């Protein structure tokens, strides 16, 4: 059985005291209400990483991750943060290839591939985001787009390296829009991704890879999405900024874990 994972992507929200308060609330609610063994990964802005790692110390199912890391090991890149720096805070994960980075910062599949290599060299686990735009879906191009993102961004990795990856399918038309993919639409894509993983790395790797859904996930729609066979949890943006909503989503995911 694959582990269940819920990840929070705070994006560029929460100043320092706000971030500490939010995370403290999340920990309290998890401690009081969540049983089970799913993994919860919180990805705040860089400024919070070290403090959140400290707060998460006695909570084995909680991990901390960054939202990006540079493709170079170090150097004259003013304003950037390296994978080594992220890892040195105690954070274990990094999100790479998020559609907002692809869109606003022109990140290509090729750049995402380089960032993945550097993150792996620095012992980070990766949540790699892929997904199609509204226009691409309307043109029936979603499978081609996803296949290219997988092939050009990830499939240069060998099997051992690939074991450090989690994939997040995030249809861009569903991110922050309030429009979620239907459970059937999401399942169809997750199945497709798993088939591609199987063709590249074999059935065992495909069966073990965690594939998250992201895009306007909330406590109301999470149950149906997470009940799909190939959906192993979620990458949560807006709803992760409210401790109550985020923990309610975690509880839905846990329920799935108990049922299976
Ligand atoms: P959303 O964001 O839940 O606010 O749609 C998800 C994401 O971008 O990771």
What are the start-end ranges of the H helices in 81-141?
Answer: 83-88, 99-104, 109-121, 134-138
Is the shortest distance between the CB of 216 and ligand 1 below 6 Å? yes
| Residue 103 CA, distance from chain mean position | 17
The rounded percent of the chain whose pLDDT value lies above 90 is 89
For the entire predicted model, the pTM comes to 0.96
Name which of 95, 131, 135, 104 is nearest 9 in CA terms.
95
Name which of 14-18, 103-107, 249-253 the model is least confident about: 249-253
Number of C-beta neighbours around residue 36 at 10 A: 14
202 Cα: distance to centroid of ligand 1 (angstroms): 30
- Give tens-digit pLDDT for 70-79: 999 999 999 9
**119-123, Cβ contacts within 8 angstroms, sequence gap of 24 or more:** 119/69, 119/83, 119/94, 120/157, 120/161, 120/164, 121/73, 121/83, 122/69, 122/82, 122/83, 122/84, 122/86, 122/87, 123/87
Ligand 1 atom closest to the Cα of residue 240 is 3
Helix (H, G, I), strand (E, B) or coil at 206: helix
Is the shortest distance between the CB of 237 and ligand 1 below 6 Å? yes
The answer to whether residue 170 is catalytic is yes
Is the shortest distance between the CB of 236 and ligand 1 below 6 Å? yes
Report d(CA 31, CA 157) in Å as an integer: 37
Confidence check: pLDDT of 258 > 50: no
Residue 3 pLDDT? 87
**Are 51 and 21 spatial neighbours (Cβ–Cβ below 8 Å)?**
no
- E strands of the chain, at which residues? 5-9, 39-43, 62-66, 93-96, 125-130, 165-169, 211-214, 233-236
Report d(CA 145, CA 223) in Å as an integer: 27
Is the shortest distance between the CB of 176 and ligand 1 below 6 Å? yes
Ligand 1 atom closest to the Cα of residue 217 is 3
- Give tens-digit pLDDT for 152-181: 999 999 999 999 999 999 999 999 888 888
């Amino acid at each position: 059985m694959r582990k269940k994972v819920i990840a929070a992507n705070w994006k560029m929200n929460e100043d320092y005291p706000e971030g500490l308060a939010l995370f403290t609330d999340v920990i309290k609610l998890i401690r009081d209400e969540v049983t089970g063994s799913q993994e919860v990964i919180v990805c705040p802005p860089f400024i919070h990483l070290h403090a959140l790692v400290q707060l998460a110390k006695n909570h084995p199912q909680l991990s901390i991750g960054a939202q990006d890391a540079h493709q170079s090991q170090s150097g004259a890149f003013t304003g950037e943060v390296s994978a080594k720096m992220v890892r040195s805070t105690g954070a274990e994960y990094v999100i790479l290839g998020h559609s907002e980075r692809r869109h606003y910062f022109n990140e290509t599949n090729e750049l995402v591939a380089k960032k993945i290599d550097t993150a792996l060299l620095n012992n980070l686990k990766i949540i790699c985001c892929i997904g199609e735009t509204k226009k691409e879906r309307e043109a029936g191009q979603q499978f081609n787009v996803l296949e290219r993102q997988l092939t050009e961004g990830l499939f240069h990795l060998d099997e051992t390296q690939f074991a450090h990856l989690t994939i997040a399918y995030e249809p861009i038309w569903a991110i922050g829009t309030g429009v979620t993919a239907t459970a059937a639409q999401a399942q169809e894509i997750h199945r497709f991704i798993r088939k591609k993983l199987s063709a590249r790395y074999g059935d065992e790797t495909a069966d073990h890879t965690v594939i998250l859904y992201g895009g306007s996930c909330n406590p109301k729609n999470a149950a149906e999405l997470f009940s799909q066979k190939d959906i192993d949890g979620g990458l949560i943006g807006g709803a992760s900024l409210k401790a109550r909503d985020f923990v309610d989503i975690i509880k839905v995911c846990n329920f799935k874990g108990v049922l299976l």
